[in-house]
A and B are shown apart, each in its own frame.
Chain A
Amino acid sequence: MKFRSQRVAYLFFATSMLLFTLQILFGFIMAFAHLGFDGLHDIIPFNAARSTHLNLLVVWLLSGFMGAAYYMIPDEANREIYSEKLAIVQWAALNIVGVIAIIGFQFGWWEGRKFLEIPRELDYLVVIDVLLFIFNIGMTIWNGKRFTTTSIVLFVGLTAAALLYLPGMITFDSQVLDSYFRWWVVHLWVEGVWELIMGGIMSYLLIKLTGVDREVIEKWLYVIVGFTFLSGILGTGHHYYYIGTPDYWLWIGGIFSAMEPLAFLGMALYAVGMARAGGMKHPNRIALFWTVGCGVMSFVGAGFLGFAHTLPQVNLWTHGTLVTAMHGHMAFWGAYAMVVMAMIAYAMPRMTGRKLYDHWIPEWAFWVSNVGMMGMTGAFAVAGVAQVYLERKSGMDFLEAQKAIEIHFFGLILAACLLSVGIGLYILNFIQYGLPSEEAVSPGAA
Chain B
Amino acid sequence: MLSKSQARWFFVGGTAFFGAIFIFLTVDSLREIPARQNQDQMTAAVVRGKHIWDRNNCMGCHTILGEGAYYAPELTRVVERRGKEWIAVFLRDPAAMFPGQRRMVQYDFSPEEIQDLVAFLEWIGRIDTNGFPPQPDLAPATVVASRSTSASTAARPAYFDTICVACHSVGGAGGSVGPALDGVGNRLTAAELDRWLEDPPAVKPGTAMPNLHLPDATRSELVSWLASLK
Q: Does B associate with A? A: yes
A170 contacts across to B, CB distance below 8 A: none
Residue of A with least CB distance to B26 = A180
Q: Is the CB of A173 within 8 A of B4?
A: no
Q: Are A393 and B136 in contact (CB under 8 A)?
A: yes
Q: Are A46 and B36 in contact (CB under 8 A)?
A: no
* A76, CB-defined interface residue at 8 Å: no
Q: Which residues of chain B from 32 to 72 have a CB within 8 Å of any chain A CB?
A: 32-33, 36-37, 39, 42, 47, 50-51, 53-61, 63-72
Q: Min CB distance, A31 to chain B, in Å?
A: 11
B25 touches A114 (CB 8 A): no
- As a 0/1 sequence over residues 3 to 34 of chain A, the CB contacts with chain B under 8 angstroms (1 = contact) are 00000000000000000000000000010011
By a CB distance below 8 angstroms, the chain B residues around A219 are 2-4, 7
* Interface pair B37/A250, CB less than 8 Å apart: no
Q: Specify which chain B residues have a CB less than 8 angstroms from the CB of A247 in the assembled complex.
A: 130
A127 within 8 A of B: no
Residues of chain B within 8 A (CB-CB) of A220 are: 7
The reply to whether A38 and B65 contact each other, CB–CB distance below 8 Å, is no
User: Bound complex: CA of A324 vs CA of B30, how far in Å?
Assistant: 27
Chain B residue, CB-CB nearest to A188? B22
User: Which A residues are in CB contact (< 8 Å) with B128?
Assistant: 244
What are the residues of chain B within 8 A of A387 when measuring CB–CB? Answer: 70
Which residue of A30, A176, A233, A389 contacts B22 across the interface (Cβ within 8 Å)? A233
Minimum Cβ distance to chain B for residue A100 (Å): 17
Is A438's CB within 8 Å of the partner chain B? no
> Is A112 a contact of B59 with CB atoms below 8 Å?
yes
**B93: Cβ under 8 A from any A Cβ:** no
User: Is B102 in contact with A399, judged by CB distance below 8 angstroms?
Assistant: yes
Contact of A222 with B11 in the complex, beta carbons under 8 Å? yes
CB distance from A21 to the nearest CB of B (A): 22
How many A-B contacts are there with CB distance less than 8 Å?
202
Nearest CB in chain A to that of B175: its residue: A397
Say whether A175 contacts B124, CB under 8 Å: yes
Q: How far is the CA of A395 from the CA of B55 in the complex (A)?
A: 31
Residue pair B134, A316 in contact (C-beta under 8 Å): yes
Residue pair B105, A176 in contact (C-beta under 8 Å): no
A113 and B2 form a contact (CB under 8 A): no
Cβ of B111 under 8 Å from chain A: no
Q: From B64, which residue of chain A is reached at the shortest CB distance?
A: A175
Minimum C-beta distance from B24 to chain A (A)? 11
Interface centre among A33, A51, A114, A325 (most CB of B within 10 A): A114
Q: Which residue of A lies closest to B136 (CB)?
A: A395
- Given A112-B55, A229-B19, A321-B70, do A47 and B14 touch, yes or no (CB 8 Å)? no
Q: A245, B29: Cβ atoms under 8 Å?
A: yes
A20 CA to B98 CA, complexed, in Å: 35
**Distance, CA A121 to CA B198, complexed state (A):** 48
Residues of B within 8 A of A179 (CB): 65, 67
Contact B60 A229 (CB under 8 A): no
Q: Which of B63-109 contact A (CB under 8 A)?
A: 63-74, 98, 101-103, 105
Q: Is B14 touching A316 in the complex (CB atoms < 8 A)?
A: no
Contacts of B30 in A (CB 8 A): 177
Given A112-B57, A226-B14, A226-B15, are A244 and B37 also a contact pair (CB < 8 Å)? yes
Minimum CB–CB distance from B65 to chain A (whole Å) comes to: 5
Contact with A along B166-200 (1 / 0, CB 8 A): 00000000000000000000000000000000000
Q: Which residues of A contact B (CB under 8 A)?
A: 30, 33-34, 36, 38, 41, 45-48, 50-51, 108, 110-114, 117, 149, 173-180, 215, 218-220, 222-223, 225-227, 229-230, 233-234, 236, 240-250, 252, 316-317, 319-322, 324-325, 387, 389, 392-395, 398-399, 402
Beyond A241-B130, A319-B133, A402-B102, 18 additional contacts (C-beta under 8 Å) are A47-B60, A112-B56, A176-B65, A176-B127, A179-B65, A220-B7, A223-B10, A225-B11, A226-B11, A233-B15, A246-B36, A247-B130, A249-B25, A316-B134, A317-B134, A320-B65, A394-B140, A399-B73
